[in-house]
Amino acid sequence: MRVLVIGSGSIGRRHHDNLQALGASSRLVSWREAGLGGALAAMTDAQAVVIATATDIRLPLIEAAAARGLPLYIEKPLAFRPEEVEAIASVAAPVAERSMLGYMMRYHPAVRALAAMDLSDVFQFVLTIGHDVTQWRANWRFSESYAARAEGGGVLLDLCHELDLAACLFPGLEVTRVESLAHPAFPGVDFASRVSLRRQGLVGDVSMDYLTPLLHRRTTLRGAERMQDFDFAAQVYRVTEPSGARLLDLPLERNAMFLDAMRDFLALAFGQETSGNPLLPRLDLCLPSARLVADAWSQRAFIGEITKEIP
C-alpha cells in the first residue's frame, strides 16, 4: 500500500504517522517545497493520495489524482465555494466511492452513539465549539497559518465538524442566516460565526469561535420525548427522559478517531471490508455536508469586529 501524503503541516504529519502505524508505505511531500509540479510527479508511484493542503489549492490535485484512478483522502472542508464543491464532485466522481473526506469526528464514540438514537422528536438543536486560537499549539502563530487567509481561512471552515455533525444527524438542513465577527487585522476572516439552520419542523444553530479561553464543545438536542446534552470537551454525555437522566460511558482516545478513519480509507482504497461505521465519510456520501459548509461560508454576514490581540 503506497500512499502519498501531500501537505506536511500538523495534520499531514499525523496522517503520515498513522499510515505507517497501520502498515502502509507512506511518503510525505511538502506542498511549500514541492509545489504542484512536485506533487504531481510524486503521484506516479502512488496507489492512493491524502490531500492535507490548504483548501484553496486542492482542485488541481484532486483532478490529477482522480484522472490517474487514485483514491483520495481529502482533509475537511472539501471546498469553501459552492461552485468548487461541484467542480470537485465532478472530477472526483470516478474514484468517489473509494475516497473519503476527513470528518474524523464521525468516528467519535459519542457521535456514533448520538447518531444511533431515535431523534425523530427533536425540534431544536444547538452545537457549539470554540477555543482561543492563540493557545492551539506551541510555536504556532495564527497570522502565519492558512486559517488567517480570507480565501479558505476563518473559524467556520476550520471548525466545520459541527456543521458536518448537524448534517449527519438531520439530513436536509438548509442555511437561513450566518452572522460573523471579524478582526481589523485580518479582513474577510471570521473569528466567530453562528450558522442558523432549518428543515421542516426543526431549527438549530451551529456556533464556532477562535476566542473563548478554554475549549468548549457541546451538542444539545431538545425533543418532546428526551433531551441529549453531550459535552465533548468534558466527556460527559447525558440523556434526559421523563424517567430521569442517565449518563453514557463513552471514553475517547483522540488519535483513535484518526486511526479508525485512515484504516477505513485504506480498506476502501484497496477493496477491503470497512469497519461498518454507518457514518463512514465516503466522499460521494459526504457531498451534502460539503455543500452545507460551502453554503454557510458563502452566506457569512459580518456584523462587527473583535479586538483581541491575535499574533
9 and 56 part of one domain? yes
pTM of the predicted model, to two decimals? 0.95
92 and 142 part of one domain? no
3-state secondary structure of 286: helix
71 and 117 part of one domain? no
Q: Domain for residue 287, yes or no?
A: no
3-state secondary structure of 302: strand
6 and 154 part of one domain? no
35 and 143 part of one domain? no
Cα separation, 218 vs 234, in Å, equals 9
CA-based max dimension of the chain: 63
Cα separation, 85 vs 294, in Å, equals 7
110 and 230 part of one domain? yes
Cα separation, 116 vs 82, in Å, equals 30
Do 191 and 205 touch, CB atoms closer than 8 A?
no
Cα separation, 247 vs 104, in Å, equals 24
CA distances from 268 to 72, 96, 168 (A): 10, 10, 20
Instruction: Please report the pLDDT score of residue 254 as a whole number.
Output: 87
CATH classification at residue 21: 3.40.50.720
3-state secondary structure of 222: strand
Q: Domain for residue 310, yes or no?
A: no
pLDDT in tens, the chain (311 residues): 899 999 998 999 999 999 999 999 999 999 989 999 999 999 999 999 999 999 999 999 999 999 999 999 999 999 999 999 999 999 999 999 999 999 999 999 999 999 999 999 999 999 999 999 999 877 789 999 889 999 999 999 999 999 999 999 999 999 999 999 999 999 999 999 999 999 999 999 999 999 999 999 999 999 999 999 999 999 999 999 999 999 999 999 889 999 999 999 999 999 999 999 999 999 999 999 999 999 999 999 999 999 999 99
Instruction: Please report the pLDDT score of residue 109 as a whole number.
Output: 97
Instruction: Please report the pLDDT score of residue 231 as a whole number.
Output: 98
Q: Domain for residue 266, yes or no?
A: yes
Instruction: Please report the pLDDT score of residue 279 as a whole number.
Output: 98
The whole domain housing 36 covers 2-103+258-277
Instruction: Please report the pLDDT score of residue 40 as a whole number.
Output: 94
Instruction: Please report the pLDDT score of residue 138 as a whole number.
Output: 74
Instruction: Please report the pLDDT score of residue 146 as a whole number.
Output: 87
What's the grid cell of residue 30? Answer: 511538502
**Looking at this protein, which amino acid is placed at residue 43?**
M
Q: Residue 243 contacts by C-beta under 8 Å, 6 or more apart in sequence? A: none
What's the grid cell of residue 10? Answer: 500538523
Total structural domains in the chain?
Answer: 2
If you write DSSP's letter for every residue of 43-111 in order, what string do you get?
GGG-SEEEE-S-GGG-HHHHHHHHHTT--EEEPSPS-SSHHHHHHHHHHHGGGGGG-EE--GGGG-HHH
What's the grid cell of residue 303? Answer: 456584523
CATH classification at residue 120: 3.30.360.10
Q: Domain for residue 286, yes or no?
A: no
169 and 300 part of one domain? yes
Q: Domain for residue 140, yes or no?
A: yes
Instruction: Please report the pLDDT score of residue 246 as a whole number.
Output: 97
Estimate to the nearest angstrom the gap between the alpha carbon of 11 and the chain centroid. Answer: 12
Q: Domain for residue 285, yes or no?
A: no
Instruction: Please report the pLDDT score of residue 68 as a whole number.
Output: 97
197 and 245 part of one domain? yes
Sequence-ordered alpha helix ranges (H) in the chain: 10-21, 31-42, 59-67, 82-92, 109-115, 155-158, 161-169, 254-269, 287-298
What's the grid cell of residue 242? Answer: 421523563
Q: Domain for residue 39, yes or no?
A: yes
Cα separation, 206 vs 162, in Å, equals 7
3-state secondary structure of 235: coil
Cα separation, 22 vs 16, in Å, equals 10
Q: Domain for residue 149, yes or no?
A: yes
3-state secondary structure of 186: coil
125 and 240 part of one domain? yes
91 and 156 part of one domain? no
138 and 191 part of one domain? yes
99 and 116 part of one domain? no
Q: Is the peptide bond preceding residue 77 cis, with omega within 30 degrees of 0?
A: yes
